[in-house]
Amino acid sequence: MNILDAILKRRSIRKFTQQPIESEDLKELVLCASRAAYPANLQPLKFAIVTEETEREQLFACTKWAGYLVDGSPKEGERPTAYIVMLGDSSIKANSDFQVETGAAGTTILLAAMEKGLAGCWLGALSRDGIRELLALPENLHVTDVIALGYPAQHSVPVEMEDGNVKYYKDETGTIHVPKRPLDEILYEK
């Protein structure tokens, strides 16, 4: 897939077919994340891949979905078939602020996933304590965010934002419309 196409077409997808994702594909997404740009080249992130059914169920219970939609949470049979949990390693970066690194890694994973026909959703509204317990994390590893992945079973398109309304919405066909600020609003000129 053309890189510009991927960047412009990437949307958060929250419903998936139940076709499993090859383990090698998931590992390659982590490899891609390892090649992102990181401040001072510290690379303080670790990545846990979760695909086992019971663990997926436990992880799903630690997530929240689509706050702007009435019924935006994936139901059984629509849920992600894999998760990549991003973990900050405080033995590498002592101040435990992993936001920039998480941003670089998460974006890279979501874009690389598109090349494989996959889609995903970034999850930041989490029970981090629940995930810590599920993954039996040592003290130095901290849950930052989660990328939920699968083969898409939902459409989502960008629409021009009106009156500053940031809320995405679903139309009668189930397609999600995601307001984006127009270029002339975000271009600063003195």
Applying CB under 6 A, which residues contact ligand FMN? 11-12, 14, 64-66, 121-125, 145, 156, 168, 178
- Closest separation between CB of residue 13 and ligand FMN, Å? 8
- Closest separation between CB of residue 107 and ligand FMN, Å? 8
Report the chain's C-alpha Rg in angstroms.
17
Nearer to ligand FMN by Cβ, of 9 and 116: the residue is: 9
Nearer to ligand FMN by Cβ, of 66 and 104: the residue is: 66
DSSP state of 140: T
Structure tokens at 94: 């002592």
Nearer to ligand FMN by Cβ, of 24 and 48: the residue is: 48
C-alpha dihedral over 11, 16, 19, 22, to 10 degrees?
Answer: 40
Task: Select the residue whose beta carbon is closest to ligand FMN and give its number.
Answer: 124
CA distance to 49, 87, 144, 151, 187, per residue, from 115 (Å): 19, 24, 25, 12, 29
- Closest separation between CB of residue 156 and ligand FMN, Å? 5
Please work out, in degrees rounded to the nearest 5, the angle formed at the alpha carbon of residue 102 by the alpha carbons of 170 and 63.
45
- Closest separation between CB of residue 103 and ligand FMN, Å? 7
Nearer to ligand FMN by Cβ, of 22 and 171: the residue is: 171
Distance, C-alpha 104 to centroid of its chain: 11
Nearer to ligand FMN by Cβ, of 141 and 147: the residue is: 147
- Closest separation between CB of residue 162 and ligand FMN, Å? 16
Structure tokens at 51: 């695909």
Do the beta carbons of residue 86 and residue 110 sit within 8 Å?
A: no
